[in-house]
Amino acid sequence: MQKIFFLFVIFLTCQLTYGQNKNEKNVDLIKAEREASNQAIARHDIDGISKFWVKDFVQIRGNSTYLTGKDTIISSWRKLFKDNPNVVYIRTASQITISTNDTLAWENGTWKAFNSYSNGGNYSAMWRKDNDSWKIVAELFVSLL
């Protein structure tokens, strides 16, 4: 009986460790994608920004306007960069939570704007795992600064 209990404890420990490592890997992937997205914004690289969005992506801007659909939002970014060639946004996650079934994630943090109508605020993002990569389903930005 002690051997069975001992094996159960080892099994449980391995499962918990695997789950933590899996979550850490997913959090690291999302952080890396967020950093790549920030760099793409700094370069005004719309393809680099939008590659992290699902087709039916939803974006609620800091001024409370919202857009739906990847193509519509790409057009909006093109106009933004044309009208304001010096604008830069940087999002910094303070928390990323992975769902228990490893298919969704929630990110929240702060954003800063440079050469924009706002200086920044808070944001949240919903991510969905798609073939071992993470894509943004929706983003909500609130201008607070």
pLDDT of residue 125: 98
Pairing of strands 120-130, 133-143: antiparallel
Beta-bridge mates of residue 124:
108, 140
- Quick one: how far is CA 136 from the chain centroid? 6
Q: Which residues contact 57 (CB under 8 A, 6 or more apart)?
A: 68, 69, 70, 73, 136, 137, 138, 139
Q: Could you tell me the pTM of the whole model? A: 0.83
Domain layout of the chain by residue ranges:
2-143
pLDDT tens per residue across span 4-26 = 545 444 444 444 444 557 789 99
The region of weakest confidence among 34-38, 61-65, 69-73 is 61-65
pLDDT for the residue numbered 69: 97
> What phi and psi values does residue 101 have, to the nearest 5 degrees?
-95, 5
List the one residue out of 75, 50, 65, 39 whose CA is nearest residue 136: 50
Q: How far apart are CA 127 and CA 136, in angstroms?
A: 4
Arithmetic mean of pLDDT over the chain: 89
**More confident: 9 or 113:** 113
CATH no. of 2-143:
3.10.450.50
pLDDT of residue 130: 85
pLDDT tens, residue by residue, 121-137: 999 999 999 888 999 99
Q: Which residue has the higher pLDDT, 17 or 72?
A: 72
Report the length, in residues, of the chain.
145
Rounding to the nearest 10 degrees, give the CA dihedral for residues 80, 108, 128, 12. Answer: 160
